[in-house]
């Protein structure tokens, strides 16, 4: 049973994303257009997640907004509605370890590839939130604040946000005291206090600068190997 979505607050009622970008591509012959958005890039713990959504040409769903405009209750209520309405959707993740070992940009590309692999469709064009093309495998249109302007991107943003939030609520039970159930791995005073008292958990990104502020010297900041140095060492050997 699809949950009913609460009445939208007055402040966001007139801020619905449109299908202008999608329609332009459909008219140009691109039958499958995918909207893509990421969540979790700025978190200290947990994965970076990328949502991909293909909206139908004819059927519409109401109350979709940029996920950042919505409350957690509103996003949760919209999740089932959106996932049953879109032609296809998927969320790809790159783990906290991959964020450390690959760097955030490469991890985002990996998560995007996993999302696209999970679609079950072959899009010919992607609408991407922001200024950076992290898709790499097809033609893209980058849209600043795309999650507020494109229905496909907005749908992807909600699917990604809810999926990642649920993951973080699940792992919160394994790491009590870090407030993951509420902060979803993003910096907050409770998490900072827990880090200072207990150090990082097994899902923290250990290459991030917060590691330098831990008093306990058992916890060292992870530093990615320099590929140029590795090449030099190999040649020297």
Q: Cα separation of 96 and 164, whole Å?
A: 13
- In this predicted model, what pLDDT tens digit does every residue of 105-118 receive, in sequence order? 999 999 999 999 99
Examine residue 157 and state whether it is found in any structural domain, yes or no.
Answer: yes
Query: Are 29 and 77 found together in one domain?
Result: yes
Predicted pLDDT of residue 235 = 53
Query: Where does a domain end: 171, 188, 216?
Result: 171
The count of domains in the chain is: 2
Residue position matching structure tokens 């999926």:
163
Domain at 109, CATH number:
3.30.420.10
Examine residue 5 and state whether it is found in any structural domain, yes or no.
Answer: no
Query: Are 108 and 219 found together in one domain?
Result: no
Q: Cα separation of 173 and 168, whole Å?
A: 9
Radius of gyration in angstroms for the set of CA atoms belonging to the chain, rounded to a whole number: 20
Residues forming beta bridges with residue 92, ordered by sequence position: 50
As a residue count, the chain comes to 237
Query: Where does a domain end: 138, 171, 204?
Result: 171
Residue 232, pLDDT above cutoff 50 = no
Examine residue 1 and state whether it is found in any structural domain, yes or no.
Answer: no
Residue 205, pLDDT above cutoff 80 = yes
Query: Are 65 and 115 found together in one domain?
Result: yes
Query: What is the span of the domain harbouring residue 226?
Result: 175-236
Query: Are 46 and 101 found together in one domain?
Result: yes
Query: Are 184 and 118 found together in one domain?
Result: no
Q: Which helix (H) or strand (E) holds 90?
A: strand 88-94
Residue position matching structure tokens 């007139």:
14
Examine residue 189 and state whether it is found in any structural domain, yes or no.
Answer: yes
Contact 153, 129 (CB under 8 A): yes
Give the predicted TM-score (pTM) of the model. 0.91
Query: Are 160 and 212 found together in one domain?
Result: no
- In this predicted model, what pLDDT tens digit does every residue of 144-193 receive, in sequence order? 999 999 999 999 999 999 999 999 999 999 999 999 999 999 999 999 99
Predicted pLDDT of residue 227 = 62
- In this predicted model, what pLDDT tens digit does every residue of 55-87 receive, in sequence order? 999 888 878 888 988 999 999 999 999 999 999
Query: Are 202 and 138 found together in one domain?
Result: no
Strands 125-129 and 88-94: unpaired
Residue position matching structure tokens 């949502």:
51
């Amino acid at each position: 049973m699809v949950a009913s979505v609460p009445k939208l607050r007055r402040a966001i009622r007139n801020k619905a994303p449109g299908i202008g970008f999608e329609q332009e591509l459909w008219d140009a012959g691109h039958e499958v257009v995918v909207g893509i958005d990421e969540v979790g890039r700025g978190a200290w713990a947990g994965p970076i997640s990328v949502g991909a959504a293909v909206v139908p040409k004819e059927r519409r769903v109401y109350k979709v907004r940029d996920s950042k405009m919505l409350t957690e209750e509103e996003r949760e209520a919209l999740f089932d509605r959106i996932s049953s309405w879109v032609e296809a959707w998927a969320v790809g993740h790159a783990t906290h370890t991959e964020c450390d070992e690959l760097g955030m940009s490469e991890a985002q590309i990996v998560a995007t590839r996993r999302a696209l692999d999970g679609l079950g469709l072959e899009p010919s064009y992607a609408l991407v939130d922001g200024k950076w093309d992290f898709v790499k495998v097809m033609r893209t249109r980058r849209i600043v604040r795309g999650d507020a302007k494109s229905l496909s991107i907005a749908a992807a943003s909600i699917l990604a946000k809810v999926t990642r939030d649920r993951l973080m609520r699940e792992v919160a039970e394994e790491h009590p005291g870090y407030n993951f159930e509420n902060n979803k791995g993003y910096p907050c005073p409770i998490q900072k206090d827990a880090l200072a008292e207990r150090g990082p958990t097994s899902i923290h990104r250990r290459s991030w600068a917060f590691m330098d502020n831990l008093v306990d010297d058992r916890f060292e900041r992870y530093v990615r190997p320099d590929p140029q140095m590795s090449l030099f060492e190999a040649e020297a050997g």
